[in-house]
Amino acid sequence: MSHVTTSDGTRIFYKDWGTGRPVVLSHGWPLNSDSWEAQQLFLAEHGYRAVAHDRRGHGRSTQTWHGNDMETYADDLAALLDHLDLREVTLVGFSTGGGEITRYIGRHGTARVAQAVLVAAVPPLMTRRDDNPGGVPPEVFDGLRAGSRADRSQLYRDLADGPFFNHPARPVPQGVRDAFWLQSMAAGHRNAHESIAAFSATDFRADLARFDVPTLVIHGDADQVVPFEVGGRASAALVEDAELLVYPGAPHGLTDTHKQTLGEDLLAFLEGYGR
């Protein structure tokens, strides 16, 4: 298996498929790079080098005790890009992965980056607080932490059967929901638990202000995990000249429920670069 070792000794697993201009795909919580399989295969078959990694504590990467925060996630991503010496990269982040690539740009700039894509992503700030009154109540995340400690296997099943894939007009197959559970259980218990704070309480507004590359924001308007108004619409408003694509009726897990449309939209955005 392919790994890059970071400065603190953490081994980050990655898959490197295809040849061409690189696309790096960052996954959501509490999943791993397997959640990008459909898009990674599609892009590699259409002339791009598609790279997807497992965040520390998730999938086949080291289950560290420390570093379950956006700063470390972003630095791990920087280690991956440096290790592979990727240039003219398009960064694509889903949900928590959207936070990871946003904090990467905030901390490391865009010297290696050509484009950015936020898919049902957690920026600019999920949690409700005085300067973010439209956010998600903090009790929601307290409930996730309590569920994780009580029975995280059941928590992941409930998420897959409920808000993650909720799409009344398009039932999600059992196999897709089973894959969500399987990937989630591969994450470290502490890592996944601590990551709830990372994706919900990190303020990405200053990072988004540093975006100076073409940016595409994709979000479903029926997202029950990262509500559209909290995520996609708010992020698009903070990135100059960002393009916003709204998927009518789409839930949070649109990498599965809308994988064909998402692949085609990613491809169109990639092929528009430099024109």
> Model confidence over 71-100: pLDDT tens digits?
999 999 999 999 999 999 999 999 999 999
- Which stretches of 162-223 are DSSP H helices? 174-185, 189-201, 205-208
Cα 217 to the center of its chain, rounded Å: 12
> Model confidence over 222-256: pLDDT tens digits?
999 999 999 999 999 999 999 999 999 999 999 99
Percent composition of the chain: helix, strand, coil (DSSP 3-state, to 5)? 45, 20, 40
Token pair of 84 as six digits: 């592979």
Q: Whole-angstrom Cα distance, residue 4 to residue 80?
A: 6
Mean pLDDT of the chain: 97
223 noted as active-site residue: yes
> Model confidence over 126-155: pLDDT tens digits?
999 999 999 999 999 999 999 999 999 999
pLDDT of residue 171: 83
Positive or negative, the CA dihedral 180, 263, 69, 197 is: negative
- The catalytic position among 95, 148, 184, 195 is 95
195 noted as active-site residue: no
> Whole-model pTM?
0.97
Superfamily (CATH) of domain 3-272: Alpha/Beta hydrolase fold, catalytic domain (3.40.50.1820)
Dihedral angle of Cα 12, 18, 19, 20, to the nearest 10 degrees: -90
- Is the pLDDT score of 167 beyond 80? no
Report domain extents, the chain.
3-272
Sole residue written with tokens 């994780």: 148
- The catalytic position among 58, 193, 219, 252 is 252
Token pair of 43 as six digits: 């892009």
pLDDT of residue 274: 79
- The catalytic position among 223, 256, 258, 265 is 223
95 noted as active-site residue: yes
Q: Side chain identity at 238, as an amino acid letter?
A: L
